[in-house]
Amino acid sequence: MQNHFIIEMLGIKGTNVDVWEIREESGSFVIELFTNVRKQKCPSCKKGTKRVHSYRNQAIQGPIVSNRRVQISLRKRRYLCIECHCTFYERLQMVDHYQRCTSALQTTALTYSAIVSLLQRID
Ligand SMILES: [Zn+2]
């Protein structure tokens, strides 16, 4: 519930995204996000697949909250098509959307307190 709140506060729209970990790293907040496995459509043969091939972390520049940088690390999943054996990254429209809209992000004291309370809960 609170994780969902964080994601919303960060301006990320995506029901398929969840918080893996939040930590402090040299004065910045690092928020690791991950996506849930979902059936994907192969871009070349259009068949469906849920077979995971590999992962890659994508760094996304987050907002600055109360003078502290928020770094978002998104664990992207690469899928393997079992029909034609091609591999492809899952489509994450929320990331494109996020990167386009960063300037319009509302970074509020609310975001800050939400992150801090999550950190406290984890400790
Ligand atoms: Zn395919």
Whether 122 maps to a domain, the answer reads no
pLDDT digit string, tens, across residues 81-114: 999 999 998 876 556 555 555 544 444 555 666 6
CA of 33 to the centre of ligand 1 (A): 27
If you average pLDDT over residues 28-54, what whole number do you get? 91
> How many structural domains compose the chain?
1
Whether 83 maps to a domain, the answer reads yes
Whether 111 maps to a domain, the answer reads yes
CA of 90 to the centre of ligand 1 (A): 13
Whether 123 maps to a domain, the answer reads no
Whether 12 maps to a domain, the answer reads yes
CA of 80 to the centre of ligand 1 (A): 8
CB atoms within 10 A of CB 94: 19
CA of 113 to the centre of ligand 1 (A): 45
Alpha helices, DSSP H, located in the chain? 2-9, 93-101, 109-122
Q: Compute the residue count for the chain.
A: 123
pLDDT digit string, tens, across residues 57-67: 888 777 777 67
CA of 85 to the centre of ligand 1 (A): 6
Whether 96 maps to a domain, the answer reads yes
pLDDT surpasses 70 at 121: no
- Inter-residue contact 76 to 35 (CB < 8 Å): yes
Query: What is the distance between the alpha carbons of residues 111 and 64, in angstroms, rounded to a whole number?
Result: 10
Domain residue limits at 44: 2-115
Confidence of residue 44 (pLDDT cuts 50, 70, 90): very high
